[in-house]
Amino acid sequence: MEQKPRKTSTEPYSQAPWKGHRARLRERFSNSGLAAFLDYEIVELLLALGIPHKDRKPQAKEAIDRFKTLRGVL
């Protein structure tokens, strides 16, 4: 049985799961604050603020791998 991705916003699920990803991150931040995020997601959110219109998840995960913690990245 195929599992559908978790729906985190009120928007209907898109055929392309990455569409609206930043909007969903911002919405989750607005609703729950940073407590609802994994460390790499916080880094991704910060990178997205400075470098719009480009996927930052790989760089965020790489930074956490390299520096081990959010504190290390910051």
The answer to whether the CB of 40 falls within 8 A of the CB of 56 is no
Could you report the per-residue pLDDT of 26-39, keeping only the tens digit for each? 888 889 888 888 99
Measured between alpha carbons, how far is 40 from 46 in angstroms, rounded to an integer? 10
Q: Go through the chain and tell me how many residues it has.
A: 74
Q: Which residue has the tokens 């219109």?
A: 53
Angstrom distances, CA of residue 65 to CA of 1, 16, 30, 40, 73: 33, 27, 27, 9, 10
Q: What is the pLDDT of residues 38-59, one digit of tens each?
A: 999 899 888 888 877 778 889 9
Nearest partner of 21 among 35, 34, 32, 5, judged by Cα: 5
